Structure 1
Amino acid sequence: MPDTTPTQQDFTIMAIGQAGRLQYEAILLAGSLRLTNPDFAGKLVICEPQPGSLWKTDPRMSADARAALEGLGAEIVPFESQAFGQDYPFGNKIEALAALPEAPFLFLDTDTLITGDLTTLDLDFTRPSASMRREGTWPRIELYGPGYEAIWKSLYNRFGLDFAASLDLSKPDEYWQRYLYFNAGWFFHESPRRFGARFLSYARSIRDDRPVELVLQELNPWLDQVALPLVIHSFDGGRPGPGLAGLDGEVTCHYRTLPLLYARESDRVVEVLEAVAKDQPLRRVLRDYAPVKAMVYQNQGRRARGLFDRADLPHREQVIRNTLKREGLWLR
């Protein structure tokens, strides 16, 4: 009998594609997967929101973008927006999970490049995790308001979760890194249906009936990152171990914007970006996207790169952004 045991690569890579910036980023993501992992045994699924009452404009990708993605081996899967839509597009990653095939998945933000070998990742899909490439963006502590512990504990209590088990006790009380908090740029689990249903339930509960400890807190755009650690903890997951260091490392790069990519990412990331963008069939579509046109085809990315020492970057991203803006190199 043939061996039907799943391999480590038999999983779905999921990203969001829609009209505008994301359709071009999806092409770069798909091209980077084909370039660096040509024997990938899983699926690349680009989830596309469909027109409806929650979208003021048609969110679907152009015919040229769809053709480029399908030519790269991506499967385009439609999904309906029933909770978020245009007012909170970050909710796409939550609602799209219901449309995935029921198989282990790795979600990647569309502004991600795959730069290394996916088989080097130690992905235990039964114990979900997410990106730690984050800053202390939420919550924002007000002078006379509740602190980190009170805010996070109120959320764990809301969903009947063990708050104490989520803490990093190596960090002091009321320091933001003590509390489970992720960037939602990547996350994974064995079941998109179960993970997505819980993610949607938690996010809607927080949005529509926030605990009193959250009344001073802004939830847009942070809602997905507020709910995500609760969902991961509820499935017995947690902070990523060393076997996942390749995510946000040698295997993937969540670059956010092309000017930031050129300013701070490795030579390997630039090499992959330019190899994909200069592929002739893809170039015919990507040249319509201003950041690729300027940064790659007109070599402005190299000028941006020359402004920074990657071995001694500013500690705050805002300093990098301000420098790029001053030089007329901030494009998104």
Structure 2
Amino acid sequence: MPAPTVLIVAQAGRLQAEALLFAASLAETSPSARLVVAEPQPGPLWDDDPRLDHDARAALRRLGATILPFDARHFGRTYPQGNKIEALFALPADTPFVFFDTDTLILGDLAAVPLDFDRPAASLRREDTWPKPDIAGHDRAAIWRALYDRFDLDIDGSLDTAHAPDDWRRYLYFNAGFFHFRCPHVFGQRFLHIAQTIRDAPPPELAGQSLDPWLDQVALPLVIHGLGGGRDALEPGWLDGRTSCHWRALPLLYARESDAVVDTVERIANRPDLKPLLARHAPLRKLVHEGGGARIRAMFDRTALPAQERDLRKRIRAAGLWLR
């Protein structure tokens, strides 16, 4: 199948460094892919100018990216994760797309991934991060059912009944590091409506639940289920597998990802055309160019990693190497 339009969001700071790594990896592995970088524009919902700097903009264009502006009308500085919702409207309607967070590497040709754009999917590489059932006495079943009821969705069709009612895996839950669909506007309108409703008028069962930074991941299962997708909409092993890696934070990449992923990051970060730009981002410079990442890598046995990500983070922080 032809490679889809690939959408990321980038702005000044860390995200533009991540976007350069992403764009370089995409250009190497997926020559037919069209990369769109959505760039938030200055406005009342940002304190500082969020636009890419001149050098990063030029480098992204050399790597084949088209840069499209969008305005933050609903989230901005108060919830920057909302960029991934508002950026969808930068694309033309009826454009099959796959969105990725910038902290992702493309490792294989996206044209080979069997994406069904009529059935949306998202990342299943996630942990039990939301909800926290004991905060106000509501269990998982009550919390998720209240959300599905709020949006007139049938929760029963979303359940994995191989897991018990108190098991988080029973409920549709994704990491929002990637998702895809046939139309960014249809997906975006539904995503925006659900996220805003949960934020502004949550059902009582959400009392005490934190929605920062989880709002996008709370809304996303409802969006995907409502559009006919689900956990089985993409064959496992492709995205967040052999074709892409959502590394999320450089210290975590060095702690737990494969040698191939580390080699890819280090090779791209040392390209003569990109190294001067990437070295401006201090965490990347210290971890990749100055050897901090190798120190992290030596701390962990990747065949026996801690079960919880928080334990990785704790050990890395104790070593003074939690840099983002």
TM-score normalised by structure 2 residue count? 0.97
Residue 31 (structure 1) aligns with: 24
> Which shows bigger deviation, 165-174 or 318-327?
318-327
Provide the secondary structure at the position in 2 that maps to 1:309: coil
CA distance in 2, matches of 1:108, 1:149: 30
Provide the secondary structure at the position in 2 that maps to 1:170: coil
Provide the secondary structure at the position in 2 that maps to 1:180: coil
Provide the secondary structure at the position in 1 that maps to 2:73: coil
Q: How does 1:107-256 map to 2 (within 5 A)?
A: 107-142=99-134, 145-240=137-232, 243-256=235-248
The amino acid that maps onto 2:20 is: I
Over 3 Å counting, the alpha-carbon distance change for 1:93 and 1:143 in structure 2 is closer
Q: Does structure 1 residue 45 correspond to structure 2 residue 39? A: no
CA distance in 1, matches of 2:136, 2:294: 47
Deviations 1:9-58 (A, max 9, x none): 1x111111011100100000001111222x2x231111111111111111
Residue 96 (structure 1) aligns with: 87
Residue 55 (structure 2) aligns with: 64
Unaligned runs of 5+ in 2: none
Task: Please report the RMSD computed on the Cα atoms of aligned residues, expressed in angstroms.
Answer: 1.3
Residue 311 (structure 2) aligns with: 319
Shift of 1:101: 2.6
The amino acid that maps onto 2:270 is: K
CA distance in 2, matches of 1:83, 1:36: 35
Shift of 1:242: 6.3
Contact 1:13–1:105 (8 Å) recurs in 2:
yes
Shift of 1:61: 1.1
CA distance in 2, matches of 1:33, 1:235: 28
Shift of 1:119: 3.0
Shift of 1:143: 5.7
* Stretches (4+) displaced over 2 A: 240-244
Contact 1:122–1:244 (8 Å) recurs in 2:
no
Residue 10 (structure 2) aligns with: 17
Residue 309 (structure 1) aligns with: 301
Contact 1:130–1:240 (8 Å) recurs in 2:
no
Over 3 Å counting, the alpha-carbon distance change for 1:19 and 1:144 in structure 2 is closer
Residue 86 (structure 1) aligns with: 77
Residue 8 (structure 1) aligns with: 2
Contact 2:33–2:111 (8 Å) recurs in 1:
no
Indicate the percent of aligned positions where both proteins have the same amino acid.
53
Deviations 1:274-304 (A, max 9, x none): 1111110111211101122111111221121
Shift of 1:172: 0.4
The amino acid that maps onto 2:138 is: P
Shift of 1:139: 0.8
Over 3 Å counting, the alpha-carbon distance change for 1:76 and 1:143 in structure 2 is closer
Deviations 1:64-89 (A, max 9, x none): 11111111001111101111000000
Provide the secondary structure at the position in 2 that maps to 1:243: coil
Q: How many residues align?
A: 323
Contact 1:104–1:125 (8 Å) recurs in 2:
yes
The amino acid that maps onto 1:34 is: A
TM-score normalised by structure 1 residue count? 0.94
CA distance in 1, matches of 2:53, 2:144: 41
